[in-house]
Amino acid sequence: MKAGGVRRSGRLSGLLALCIGAWGISLHAQPGLRMEARLAYAEPTGAGHRPPRLELKAGSRLWLEGTSTLHPYSADATRLLLEGTVEPAESPLGWRIVSLRVVVPVQGLKSSIEALNRNMYRDLKADQHPEIVFTLRDYAPAGPAPSGGGYWVKARGRLMVAGVERDIELEALLRISGEQIQIQGAKELFMTHFGITPRRFLGVMRVDDKITVRYDLTLLVRTDRGSP
């Protein structure tokens, strides 16, 4: 087969994969989200105090959604890393966040179609920039939720995608119940703002520039007190 034929075959395979996704056929199972959290006190504390440990409750999700002229698509994060510092505070938890860095490995993003995964990793420049990173700058309460309890929180920070950094603002619904923290929210982003050109296939399929990142996370707080 000539080189041109190989290129056309590859494009047709990609288009076929997208069509399969439109028909709702799952080509492989998607694993759940796993999290590693590393928290430390920003300042030395009294003996016997350890920083809180965070665990992720089963069923938590972090995912992105997009659309194309053929069908919508989505990809779930399967790995998440939280790194930060905390300090004692008068709050339901007894502490507050001082600094926080949230890391999502690019190749930990999984859709149900391998061809879409390969294109996603290529577009996000996973080889050169293997992580998506959000660095918190500050946050503040933004009023009570209208129903269901909890309150809104606005957070500002720096988001790095495909090696390009931008300032963003997030709004999330925060609910604290005992030793559980539930965080829910969504943020619209544009690929072109991070130097990513939305894909086109054979003139009949076009990926929309806008994507939506959604998160529904429940964190279990483990606080150890006693001898280190």
Segment 100-114 shows an average pLDDT of 95
CA distance linking residue 86 with residue 217, whole number of Å: 19
Q: What pLDDT does residue 204 have?
A: 67
**pLDDT grade, residue 203 (50/70/90)?**
low
Res. 211: pLDDT tops 60? yes
Mean pLDDT of 147-162: 92
Is 12 a residue whose pLDDT tops 90? Answer: no
Query: Going by C-beta distance under 8 Å and a sequence separation of 6 or more, which residues neighbour residue 126?
Result: 106, 107
pLDDT exceeds 50 at position 196: yes
pLDDT tens figures, 32-68 = 899 999 999 998 876 667 889 999 999 999 999 999 8
* Residue 3 clears pLDDT 70, i.e. is over it: no
Nearby residues of 151 by Cβ (< 8 Å), 6 or more positions away: 141, 142, 143, 144, 145, 173, 174
Tell me what the pLDDT averaged over the chain comes to.
85
pLDDT in tens, 117-135: 999 999 999 999 999 999 9
Position 74 pLDDT exceeds 90: yes
pLDDT of residue 115: 86
Contact residues for 50 (Cβ-Cβ < 8 A; gap 6+): 223, 224, 225, 228
In this prediction, residue 29 carries a pLDDT of 44
Contact predicate 179/53, CB 8 Å = no
The arithmetic mean of pLDDT across residues 183-206, rounded, is 89
